[in-house]
Amino acid sequence: VGAVRRKLFVPVPSVWSMPAFNARLLERCLALGDKDHYRKGGRETDLFAEDRKALLALPETRFDVVTWKRMKADKYGIVTVEGRHRYAAGPEHAGRELIVGLRAFEVELLDASGARITTHPRAYGDNPTSSDDPSLQIGLLCNRPGAWPNSQVREALPDPLREWLDGQARAVLAEGLRTLRQAERESGWANAVAAMAEILETTGGIDRAGVCLAAARHAAGTEPVAYDEPVDLTEYDLAFAGREDNA
C-alpha cells in the first residue's frame, strides 16, 4: 500500500473527472507489475495472468451500487439531496413523489411507477449546486441534441462558438457536444469552452483531439508555442496529397 501511495498519489493528484482518473489509474497500477516478482522471480504481469485463470467468471449482470429513496419534488419539479444539491425532474413532476437513485457519479430520477425520467451527474461538496449548471446538462444534451436551441449550455457559450454550432447539421452539432462533454470531464468547463473557441478560431472547425489537447493545456496553465514567423503548413498538405509544388 505504501509503495502504491508513493508512486501514484504523491503529489496528491488534481482530478476533474473521477471516471477518467480511475481509468488511467487502473492502467498505471497494471504497469507497476511490469517487473520481476521480488521472491518468485517471474514477471508479476505473467504471474497475475496465471492467477486470473483460477478466478470465477464475473456475473452476467453488472452489480449496481445504488441507494434508492422516495422523495417529493418541490413546486418547480426539483428534488434536493443532502439539503443542498438540486436535481430537476421537470415542471410536469412538480409536487409529485419521485424515486431517486443515488450512485457514485450520477443521480437517476424515476416517477412513482418506476419509469425513468432523467439522469444527472451527481454533485458533491458543502456548497449548494443545481442541475441547471450548464456543465451538468451536457450529458443529457448529447442524448437529445434537439434540445440545443433552448438549453443552458447554449446560453453559456461565447457568441462565435454558439453561432457556429447553431449553423451546423444535427450530426455535426451532436459531435461538437460530445467533444465539449469529453473536454469538460477531463479538464473542467471553463477550460473546455476556451479550448473549443480557440480551435474554432484557428481551424474554422471543431475536432475532438485538438479540443481535448488544448483544454488540457489550459488546465495545466501552459502557454501555446509561439513562433517568430508565421508557419506555412501547405507543404505538408502537398506531401500528404502526393503532389509536388510547381509554383
Segment 161-197, tens digit of pLDDT = 999 999 999 999 999 999 999 998 888 888 999 999 9
What is the pLDDT, as a whole number, of residue 99? 97
Question: Where does the pLDDT of residue 119 fall: very low under 50, low under 70, confident under 90, or very high at 90 and above?
Answer: confident
Residue 23, pLDDT > 60, answer yes
Strand partners, 160: none
Q: For the packed helices 170-187 and 189-203, what is the interaxial angle rounded to 10 degrees?
A: 130
Cis peptide before 11 (omega within 30 of 0): yes
From residue 165, how far is each of 140, 152, 201 by CA, in Å? Answer: 17, 14, 13
Give the pLDDT band of residue 71 (cuts 50, 70, 90).
very high
The candidate with the shortest Cα–Cα distance to 117, out of 140, 136, 149, is: 140
Over residues 1-8, the mean pLDDT reads: 89
Q: In the predicted model, is pLDDT for residue 245 greater than 60? A: no
The pLDDT value recorded for residue 224 is 66
What whole-number distance in Å separates Cα of residue 227 and Cα of residue 109? 52
Contact 238, 244 (CB under 8 A): yes
Domain limits, the chain: 2-52, 67-130, 134-220
Q: Is-contact 129 84, C-beta < 8 A? A: yes
Mean pLDDT in residue range 139-145 = 80
Query: For position 24, what pLDDT does the model report?
Result: 86
Q: Report residue 129's pLDDT band, with 50, 70 and 90 as the boundaries.
A: confident
pLDDT of residue 59: 92
Instruction: Kindly tell me the burial class for residue 105, based on how many C-beta atoms sit within 10 Å of its own C-beta (0-12, 13-18, 19 or more).
Output: exposed
